[in-house]
Structure 1
Amino acid sequence: MRRLLWPAVVLVLLLALNIFFTPSFFSVQVRDGHLYGSLIDILRFGAPLILVSIGMTLVIATGGIDLSVGSVVAISGALACLQISEDAGLPMAVAAALGLCLVLGAWNGFLVAAVGIQPIIATLILMVAGRGLAQLITDGQIITINDPAYKVIGGGYWLTVPFGILVVIAVLGITAFLTRRLALGMLIESVGGNAEASRLAGIRARGIVIMVYASAALCAGVAGLMISSNVSSADGNNAGLWIELDAILAVVIGGTSLAGGRFSLSGTVLGALIIQTLTTTIYSIGVPPETTLLFKALVVTAVCLIQSPSFRAKAFRRRGRSAPTQPSPEERVLAGRGGTA
């Protein structure tokens, strides 16, 4: 719980800051049976980032990294929109998109676990090639569709709540159950902590690594469906652009070490919400568009420094340390005689 303290504090401060610029920031209303408000918008627009961050958390927990999730987001949306534009039907379009994402994620895991390529290089290959594949699927154009059923995934509502939020809750619940209620989470942490020791203990590390990369790609695929559904179009060039960097930041802010080992799903969700709230805050306070990325980088850097125990120990010295005691007259006499009585 202590690891979640500073991310929670930062999130509360960012939310509170918006009150000075938008007095009705915390207002949540029900209009036409739908929930509306700035807080709902943060959750709705942050849903794709939360999904990608959940998958990234499992990958980083094994000591890896996945730079290809942004390209997988673009591929998923592009293939789904292409299938719908060709009257393939919503179930077929979603199944084809997510199936391809699973194959791509498993390929990343195979390159890392079986071939032995470093994760950053293996996923960088798909990051570059995947963006080209997405543009190949869309033929270099923006595919526009008009399917009310597909629109529900990213822009619809169910029981007054945005459907994307419900998808995030379902994915987070399933992931938490598999990793915290079953032994899967312990196996992932053991592989990330010491892959060789886990192998000697009888854990099939290769299978675990392939599985987490496939899971990350699947989460990115669902996020791609959300993003393309929300705008009713697929842009192979810009969809999911740099979302992998935001996901890595969310995982780090949430307290998961890039070295692998122990991970925190709740911390990752907090980190993703911090990034999305920061984006909303930037627009609320009127930061010039040309300085938005710089402002965001400065705030994220400050958050990471505040969260670091070693930085806090150096920057904020504890005042409870006792002052050095002065030697007594007898001790000074003894010291002058060379320490002998």
Structure 2
Amino acid sequence: MNRRLLWPAVVLALLLLLNLFFTPGFLSIEVKDGHFYGSLIDILRFGAPLVLVSLGMTLVIATGGIDLSVGSVVAISGALACLAISEGTGVFAAVALAVAVALVLGAFNGFLVAVVGIQPIVATLILMVAGRGLAQLITDGQIITVTDASFKVIGGGYLFMLPFGILLALVVLAATVFLTRRLALGLLIESVGGNAEASRLAGLRSRGILITVYAFAALCAGIAGVMVASNVSSADGNNAGLWIELDAILAVVIGGTLLTGGRFSLGGTVLGALVIQTLTTTIYSIGVPPETTLLFKALVVAAVCLLQSAAFRSKVFPQRERPAARPAAKDTTEVAR
């Protein structure tokens, strides 16, 4: 009961049951037009960009930092990809350009944090504000529409009867797990997040680790931006990825990773992202008024965080104290002596 992943899993199950109450066939999965179809598939497909952004955010938070610029990076990468394709560039080259620019922007964030010494929330806030304006400049304030069928596959296509976006998110997740759990990178990240000064004295190159982590977060955001743009076949520099950084932070926190840095849970982050996406789907399915959507979402997330708190659970659900063990009887032979 004290495991951090228990309560997010319980909340996810309750949300699914709530949707099943309002929509009897909510959990059913069918095969239509050669691929799987159903509400659960839609949750995974629409939640794939959030899962990608949350994976990068997890590693950043594990170092004791924060990245507020991932939403702007999502908008920039989507805008660059659509602009390049609309001007005649091939889909592969356009996507590679968008992801490469996102990687450079993430390295810039890491440089500000690790080398210049700017606090992470301030360093990434710079790109959060300027990046949204840069996305507007790329699109010239307009919505760029792309009709290329091969570009549509990234966010709206199917492979092996599953949405391609789900498979892409699984590939990135597998690569992240391998790099952080099968190699020493995860331990180094947790060491820097737990105590950066002690890690430096132990000989770890914390600057390189920080730059790598912020670059990876932007890389994940860049892939998510291309996926979002592909799903709607257009780029909107103003609304693409708007507030996704806040959902990513919530997903990481719900997944059990502490904002103070140190140990992190990739599985918990994925579970947290699915909770956020399922909650969004639930809001629309049960007919919550649009003006109260954010309030409803905040209440559910606050409830999950409170349930995860051991101090809160100990006060609300006090456990009975076990009776004290009786003292052992004295040895009669020892007393006789």
- TM-score band, normalised by the shorter chain? over 0.9
> What one-letter code is carried by the residue in structure 2 that aligns with 1:306?
L
Q: Which residue of 2 is the match for residue 119 of structure 1?
A: 120
Give the TM-score of the pair, scaled to structure 2.
0.95
Matches within 5 A, 1:215-294: 215-294=216-295
Is 1:75 the counterpart of 2:111? The answer is: no
Which whole-Å CA distance do the structure 1 matches of 2:167 and 2:85 have between them? 23
- Deviation per residue, 1:301-334 (Å, 9 max, x gap): 11110111111112211123559xxxxxxxxxxx
Q: 284-293 or 169-178, which moves further after superposition?
A: 284-293
Q: Which residue of 2 is the match for residue 331 of structure 1?
A: none
- Deviation per residue, 1:129-152 (Å, 9 max, x gap): 000000000011110110100000
SS at match of 1:311: helix
Give the TM-score of the pair, scaled to structure 1.
0.93
Which whole-Å CA distance do the structure 1 matches of 2:68 and 2:54 have between them? 12
SS at match of 1:2: coil
Q: Which residue of 2 is the match for residue 206 of structure 1?
A: 207
Q: Which residue of 1 is the match for residue 152 of structure 2?
A: 151
Which whole-Å CA distance do the structure 2 matches of 1:4 and 1:289 have between them? 30
Q: 309-318 or 61-70, which moves further after superposition?
A: 309-318
Deviation at 1:84, TM superposition (A): 0.1
Which whole-Å CA distance do the structure 2 matches of 1:95 and 1:38 have between them? 32
Which whole-Å CA distance do the structure 2 matches of 1:28 and 1:292 have between them? 27
Which whole-Å CA distance do the structure 1 matches of 2:297 and 2:8 have between them? 16
Deviation at 1:283, TM superposition (A): 1.0
Q: Which residue of 2 is the match for residue 26 of structure 1?
A: 27
Which whole-Å CA distance do the structure 1 matches of 2:244 and 2:323 have between them? 48
> What one-letter code is carried by the residue in structure 1 that aligns with 2:251?
A
- For structure 1, the residue ranges without an aligned partner over 5 or more in a row are 324-341
Q: Which residue of 1 is the match for residue 191 of structure 2?
A: 190
Supply the RMSD in Å over aligned alpha carbons. 1.0
Is 1:181 the counterpart of 2:182? The answer is: yes
- Write out the 4+ residue segments of structure 1 that deviate beyond 2 Å after TM superposition: 319-323
Deviation at 1:16, TM superposition (A): 1.1
Which whole-Å CA distance do the structure 1 matches of 2:181 and 2:3 have between them? 18
Which whole-Å CA distance do the structure 1 matches of 2:320 and 2:15 have between them? 29
> What one-letter code is carried by the residue in structure 1 that aligns with 2:249?
I
Q: Which residue of 1 is the match for residue 331 of structure 2?
A: none
Which whole-Å CA distance do the structure 1 matches of 2:90 and 2:20 have between them? 45
Which whole-Å CA distance do the structure 2 matches of 1:3 and 1:56 have between them? 18
Is 1:35 the counterpart of 2:36? The answer is: yes
Q: Which residue of 1 is the match for residue 303 of structure 2?
A: 302
- Deviation per residue, 1:99-126 (Å, 9 max, x gap): 1000000000000000000000000000
Q: Which residue of 1 is the match for residue 94 of structure 2?
A: 93
Which whole-Å CA distance do the structure 2 matches of 1:19 and 1:49 have between them? 23
> What one-letter code is carried by the residue in structure 1 that aligns with 2:163?
P
Which whole-Å CA distance do the structure 2 matches of 1:192 and 1:53 have between them? 17
> What one-letter code is carried by the residue in structure 2 that aligns with 1:144?
T
Which whole-Å CA distance do the structure 2 matches of 1:6 and 1:191 have between them? 28
Q: 314-323 or 26-35, which moves further after superposition?
A: 314-323
Higher Rg of the two aligned structures: 1
> What one-letter code is carried by the residue in structure 1 that aligns with 2:33?
D
Tell me the matched-pair count: 323
Q: Which residue of 2 is the match for residue 329 of structure 1?
A: none
SS at match of 2:31: strand
Percent identity reads 80
> What one-letter code is carried by the residue in structure 1 that aligns with 2:142?
Q
SS at match of 2:36: strand
Which whole-Å CA distance do the structure 1 matches of 2:322 and 2:302 have between them? 29
Is 1:136 the counterpart of 2:105? The answer is: no
